[in-house]
Amino acid sequence: MFFHALKAPALAAGFVTAMTTAEPARSEAFSVVSSRDTFVSLVQGRELRRFGIRLTVTPDGEIVGRAFGTPVTGQWDWDGGYFCRDLFFGQEDLGFNCQLVQVNGETLRFTTDQGQGIYADLTLR
What pLDDT, on a 0 to 100 scale, did the predictor assign at position 26?
Answer: 54
Fold of 8-124: Lipocalin (2.40.128)
CA distance 107 to 56: 14
Note the pLDDT tens digit of each residue in 19-63.
444 444 455 699 999 999 999 999 999 999 999 999 999 999 999
Domain regions of the chain by residue span? 8-124
Q: How far is CA 42 from CA 6, 64, 102, in A?
A: 34, 16, 11
What pLDDT, on a 0 to 100 scale, did the predictor assign at position 28?
Answer: 66
Question: What residues contact residue 89 under an 8 Å CB cut-off, 6+ apart?
Answer: 2, 11, 12, 15, 67, 70, 72
How many other CB atoms are found less than 10 A from the CB of residue 117? 15
Note the pLDDT tens digit of each residue in 60-104.
999 999 999 999 999 999 999 999 999 999 999 999 999 999 999
